[in-house]
Amino acid sequence: MKPAPDPGSGGAPNRVASAPCSFGVDEVVADDAWMPDADEMLDWMVDLDYVGTELGPPGFLGDGPEVRARLSRRGLALVGAFLPQHFSRREMVEADRAWLADSLRLLRDATPEGSRPFAVLAEGIDEPVRLAYTGRVADHPDAQLDQHRWNALVDNLHAAAETCREEGFEPVFHPHAGTYIETADEIDRLVGRLDGSLVGLCLDTGHFRYGGAAPAQAVRDYVSLLRHVHLKDCRSSVLQSVAARRADLSAALHDGVFCRLGAGDSDIAAVVAALRSVGYEGWLVVEQDQVLTTRDTRESLVAGQRANRAYLAQLGL
């Protein structure tokens, strides 16, 4: 079954975008040594031949009109916004719903003419037990959802997806390291309960690999729900080191678990081949979640993202 075309693609297959996280603008780790400012980062994206970007942390690119102006001046599409919420906690519904409404207003005001960004939903990345046991959740039943919270997650996710649709945005769910939807089993269990008429799937090849899933196989297994793709590579050796040290997600990010495309174990070439085989025509967003240190420079940061773009060019993208 061919997946529904990405609403932002305009029929052009596989437009390639970037994201602020690739340039050290991180939404998980808050102790960055430095980060670029919004205008220089967007200028780099244009220079590197990207044609769109995701929003990044709300406010980084400015308020709604500022974002629209910045992207419009450069001819960049707005591809999506990452919107994590505490879906598995019914006691957080009211606060999360209000936050989502505010975020969707920002997204609407930020959207340049011709863009149709995705609302990229995810489970919250601030659950201490999941952050602590990330990469080794299978060994810790106490870090897994019980049936009551599974039901809450599905119900609240579907309700949030309905809100996104009412506001004119296509929602997709993004499994993510350090959350209650991290492992291959958790991803599969959730996918089996998703109402595809309400919400699709964002395949993040790095986070899928982090959780033990095979990204290329996931393309084929979940094709009916596949709406959006983040291309990210993941190094299993870092995961193994972090697990052996009983460290957390912050340590994995600092250790460079997400690396340059082709340098990890996500098998990006196989993913691209699988996407072509199923006729995927949506956005490909290059992401390399990284935490910048004092050793990083603007030159080295741009060089790393230039290498990612060159890798995809070798694959015909």
What local confidence, expressed as pLDDT, does residue 273 receive? 97
| Tokens at 209, concatenated | 């690999």
Please say if the pLDDT value at position 7 is more than 50: no
Q: How far apart are CA 69 and CA 201, in angstroms?
A: 29
Cα-to-chain-centroid distance, residue 155: 22
Q: How far apart are CA 18 and CA 54, in angstroms?
A: 7
DSSP annotation of 5 = P
Its CATH class, for the domain covering 16-314, is: alpha beta
What mean pLDDT, rounded, does the chain reach? 93
What local confidence, expressed as pLDDT, does residue 58 receive? 86
147-166 vs 93-110: helix axis angle to the nearest 10?
30
Three-state DSSP state, 102: helix
Residues 6+ apart with CB under 8 A from 102: none
Q: How far apart are CA 181 and CA 177, in angstroms?
A: 8
Look up tokens 């957080």; give the residue: 92
| Chain length of the chain | 317
Rg (CA), the chain: 18
Please say if the pLDDT value at position 120 is more than 80: yes
What local confidence, expressed as pLDDT, does residue 213 receive? 97
Could you list the beta-strand ranges (E) of the chain: 16-17, 52-54, 77-85, 118-123, 170-173, 200-204, 226-231, 233-234, 258-259, 284-286
Least confident of 6-10, 214-218, 303-307: 6-10
Q: Is the model more confident about 286 or about 28?
A: 286
Q: How far apart are CA 295 and CA 317, in angstroms?
A: 31
| Tokens at 97, concatenated | 């719903």
CA geometry: angle 109, 48, 260, nearest 5 deg? 100
DSSP annotation of 90 = G
Q: How confident is the model at residue 26 (pLDDT cuts 50, 70, 90)?
A: confident
| Tokens at 82, concatenated | 């990452």
Other residues' Cβ atoms within 10 Å of the Cβ of residue 21: 23
Mean pLDDT to the nearest integer, 257-277: 97
Three-state DSSP state, 18: strand
Q: How far apart are CA 170 and CA 183, in angstroms?
A: 25
What local confidence, expressed as pLDDT, does residue 30 receive? 54
Other residues' Cβ atoms within 10 Å of the Cβ of residue 65: 10
Each residue's pLDDT tens digit, 233-242: 999 999 999 9
Q: How far apart are CA 211 and CA 207, in angstroms?
A: 6
Is the distance from CB of 125 to CB of 28 less than 8 angstroms? yes
Least confident of 10-19, 163-172, 297-306: 10-19
Torsion angle in degrees (nearest 10) through CA of 270, 276, 277, 279: 150
Q: How far apart are CA 10 and CA 128, in angstroms?
A: 41
Please say if the pLDDT value at position 8 is more than 50: no
Mean pLDDT to the nearest integer, 82-105: 97
Q: How far apart are CA 85 and CA 157, in angstroms?
A: 9
Strand pairing report for 284-286 and 16-17: parallel
Q: How far apart are CA 306 and CA 298, in angstroms?
A: 12
Is the distance from CB of 100 to CB of 83 less than 8 angstroms? yes
For the chain, the domains span 16-314
What local confidence, expressed as pLDDT, does residue 4 receive? 35
Mean pLDDT to the nearest integer, 182-191: 98
Mean pLDDT to the nearest integer, 260-276: 98
Each residue's pLDDT tens digit, 128-180: 999 999 999 988 999 999 999 999 999 999 999 999 999 999 999 999 999 99
Mean pLDDT to the nearest integer, 254-272: 97
Q: How confident is the model at residue 32 (pLDDT cuts 50, 70, 90)?
A: low
